[in-house]
Amino acid sequence: MGLIYLNSFSCHPTTINSKANLKHVIAFFFGNGVPVQLACQFFHACNGKISAHVTIMFHHWYNIWLESRNKPHMFNYYNMCLGKHIYINGSYLNQLRPVRPEIPVSWFGIDNTGFPRIIRSMLEHVSQQDVHT
């Protein structure tokens, strides 16, 4: 994965398991079409440990978003292809409805986290691991 969603890493990366940040990360993976198992494996590899709670939360939110067919604007995520925030909508609704007002994306990227060396080191470590699908 060459591009990483980092707006939820506003505090030190080791505190990523906070509920609000975790939901943003899950929404990013879900909205960008990453299968739940791969998303969990990637998250655990980046976090340096496996957490049953995190795996449960990934499955919980994926299931809610998949089963809510007619519900609009359940959450939003950064869509990598479009380069903007998009709503997670029920499967019977438009999946590419942008968030209004538009959320600025100038603060995206590793260098804007405040922890670029730590994150680059984590990414190098993950890229050397054998992540199974």
Q: Is residue 41 part of a domain?
A: yes
Q: Mind listing the pLDDT tens digit for each residue in 18-43?
A: 777 889 889 999 999 999 998 998 88
Please identify which residue in the block is written with the tokens 């998949």: 66
Share of the chain above pLDDT 70, in %: 69
Q: Is residue 8 part of a domain?
A: no
Share of the chain above pLDDT 90, in %: 28
* CA atoms within 13 Å, Cβ hemisphere of 5: 27
Q: Given this model, what pLDDT does residue 27 score?
A: 93
Q: Which two tokens stand for residue 48?
A: 């340096």
Q: Is residue 38 part of a domain?
A: yes
Q: Is residue 86 part of a domain?
A: yes
pTM, rounded to two decimals: 0.72
Residue 47 and residue 37: Cα distance in Å, rounded?
A: 15
Q: Apex CA 63: angle with CA 62 and CA 68, to 5°?
A: 105
Residue 10 and residue 12: Cα distance in Å, rounded?
A: 7
Q: Is residue 7 part of a domain?
A: no
Count the domains in the chain: 1
* Domain residue limits at 54: 14-128
> Which residue type sits at 131?
V
pLDDT at 52 over 80: yes
Q: Is residue 59 part of a domain?
A: yes
**Please, are residues 24 and 39 in contact by the beta-carbon 8 Å criterion?**
no
pLDDT at 64 over 70: yes
Q: Mind listing the pLDDT tens digit for each residue in 81-129?
A: 888 899 999 888 888 888 888 777 665 566 666 667 776 777 677 667 6
